[in-house]
A and B are shown apart, each in its own frame.
Chain A
Amino acid sequence: MRKRRGGIKRSERLAGWAFVAPSLAVMIGVIAAPLFFSLIVSFYGYTFVNPTFSVFLGLENYKNALTDPYFWNSLWVTVKFVVLVVSLEFTLGFLVALMLNREIRFKRFYYTILTLPMVMSPVAVGLIWKMLLHPDLGVLNYFLGLLGIGPVNWLANSKMAFWSVLMVDIWQQISFMILLLLAGLVSLPKEPYEAATIDGANEVQKLFYITIPLMRPVMVAAIVIRTIFAFRTYDLIYVLTRGGPGISTEVLSYFIYRKTFMGLNLAEAAATSYVLLGVVMLFVIVAFRAVYRSPQEGT
């Protein structure tokens, strides 16, 4: 009996592998192989000018990357950017999703508008916002001017530029949060709410004791995905500020891009990328832990 079941399992397993094989091959080809290649590259003196594995450097590239003060600056900018962007987008997104998860008019209309920024390419968004934020000719300063608020130097002030980029990113990416969280909210079971209503719970209690605990998996997914994406933000920076003024908006992905295509130093760029990968992993692990651990600890 047991043997026969095992036999079926084995053939099933084989069939499973057969079905997975094509996509697995593609995954290995386009993800695993380049990752492995860049790991190897990061230990050599491999540059675009001399693309060979003739000079073994060991950890030299990592050392160079980690001793560069500009690397630490951009790491700091990146972390600041990711934490702010993800937390703000999550909070605002959750609020909007809760507001949309009711019986209201023009729901489809709101959906359409909210999806629009998400389907736009970040480069287009960057170019549009660059016009809107133009200090002299931009619409934003024009309206602020009508309200009697002096022209704001959105992108050319090294303190302001970071917040401007943040704002544009939130404008574009928040719809992702809203849609994902809304999908989670819509699929929540009705029964706990009915029970809670009978027990006399008010809306706030329902939110904290039913909605948020039930939404936890969706929230984790939303935060993790958004965190990973936020670490990769590059196009927006490239179009809006190119990392400037000074080094105030230089995120790591732009820093790595410059090392690769301007510095032609593929090896050091690969090493820096692996450091970035480590940081992202750390963030994701912390995020997972924080969300999955807390209910047990709380109760």
Chain B
Amino acid sequence: MRKWIVVWLSLLLALGLFGVTLRVLMEDVPETHIIKALLPEFEAKTGIKVEFEIVQYSDMHAKLVPQLMSPNCQYDLLEVDNYWAGEFPAAGWLEPLDEYVKRDNFDISVYLPSMLDMVGYYNGKLYMIPMYNYAMGLIYRTDVLKDETLKKKYREKYGKELSVPRTLEDYVQICEFIQTNTDLYGSAMQAQRGDPIVMEWSNYLFTLGGDYYDEKWHARINDEIGVKATELYIRALKNAAPPGALSFNLDDAYRVMAQGKAFSMISYNWMLPQLDDPEKSKVAGKVALEPMPGGVGLNGGWGWAIPKNSQHKEEAWAFIKWVESPEIAKRRALMGGAPTRFDVFTDEEVVKKYPWYPKVMWLVMYAKHVPEFQYSAQMIEVVGRELSLAATGEKSIKEALDTAANELDKLAKLAGLWKK
């Protein structure tokens, strides 16, 4: 008995003396603030302090890379975007988590396979624990599809019912139809050069069954499907999008949609609550979420990871275990977080509060992510540049995709992934 008291006292003393502070670089998004609000509980429970350094997404990569390369990383815990989910493990910057998971019986079977594939495993090893998702889908105006005169007109013109589009061709056609026959834009598109255009276009590519690379890491974005996806994308951009769409990013597109000037947008699923909030949006109560027409959208998400050069790996793991425990994961979801686990997605309370969450789970399950390797960021830049050139008409679609494929092959070879 006395022995135990001594042990406990010395433990407490040790904690008091060496009270660990975990430093984490976080993106300035709702999920971060949700977790931040819960932090005192973790501190009270473990005595480990957690400090969030909250910055904009665009600053994160440039801040993280020098830290990860240095002998002592000043961040003890990381959140890793799926863009970097290939680069970081390939560079050897992340601690493999398989041992930790096995040792503590941490249940990873509750995570959606598509999330684990994206921000969990890399080359068969577990490096990350999925944190939250931002899979993309179709957000559309329910009131427009209910408009009787519009429905009649559509029936007369195309001989079928105006309803939620289930194929990409239907989607583009409906958007064109709405733009011609109403004062709304068909689709609030985000075609700014760089990641906005690539993110949106990837939905078109994936839903038609296309991809960036084949299984041998040969570029295939210039195959028939790639060309068709790009044709449809540019058709939508020309006939069914706001005139400024070529310079729009996510926020600009959101503003058009929130002002009630567009019928739909292909966007991140967490955009729905934003558009449904009467304080921020004129179309609250008139919007709904559906999977990307054709079924497969772009998946995105973040995962927790521990840097190999972290000073406090055990404490970081303790934090991951806490923040991803069923209770905390559920509470994060109830506070508006974007879950990654079956049990949370289908939890009764969660579904009661957010009735569209099962649909989001469907979205995430079928969504595909962009290829993850050292040069993902460069790949997105290249494709973004060429798509933008094709969209402005400075290059033909085939020419632009051929150039991109050529550079993508080079990147795959540089990363040592290209196989004969």
Contacts and interface: CB of A to CB of B under 8 A. Distances in A.
A259 B380 CA distance: 12
Interface stretch (B29-37, B350-358, B385-393): B385-393
B231 interface: no
A262 B381 contact: yes
Contacts of B256: 136-137
Contacts of A267: none
B56 to A, nearest CB: 10
Contact of B377 (A70, A130, A261): A261
Contacts of B152: none
A151 B243 CA distance: 9
A40 interface: no
A161 interface: yes
B255 A264 contact: no
Interface in B86-113: 87, 90-91
Interface stretch (A22-30, A189-197, A216-224, A242-250): A242-250
Contacts of A258: 381
B9 interface: no
A153 interface: yes
B242 interface: yes
A135 B242 contact: yes
Contacts, number: 100
Interface stretch (B18-26, B61-69, B264-272): B61-69
B143 interface: no
A51 interface: yes
Interface residue range, chain B:
35 or more
Contacts of B58: 238
Chain A CB count within 10 A is highest, among B191, B248, B388, for B388
Interface in A138-184: 151, 153-158, 161
B348 interface: no
A161 B244 CA distance: 11
Contacts of A156: 191, 243-248
A154 B374 contact: no
Interface in B218-247: 242-247
A262 B62 CA distance: 10
19 contacts: A135-B242, A136-B261, A137-B255, A156-B244, A156-B245, A156-B246, A156-B248, A241-B193, A241-B247, A242-B192, A242-B193, A244-B193, A244-B194, A244-B388, A245-B246, A246-B193, A246-B385, A246-B391, A264-B87
Given A134-B252, A156-B243, A261-B62, 5 more contacts: A135-B244, A156-B244, A247-B385, A262-B378, A264-B375
- Going nearest first, the 8 A-B pairs with the smallest beta carbon separation are A244-B193, A135-B244, A155-B247, A156-B246, A156-B247, A242-B194, A246-B389, A262-B377
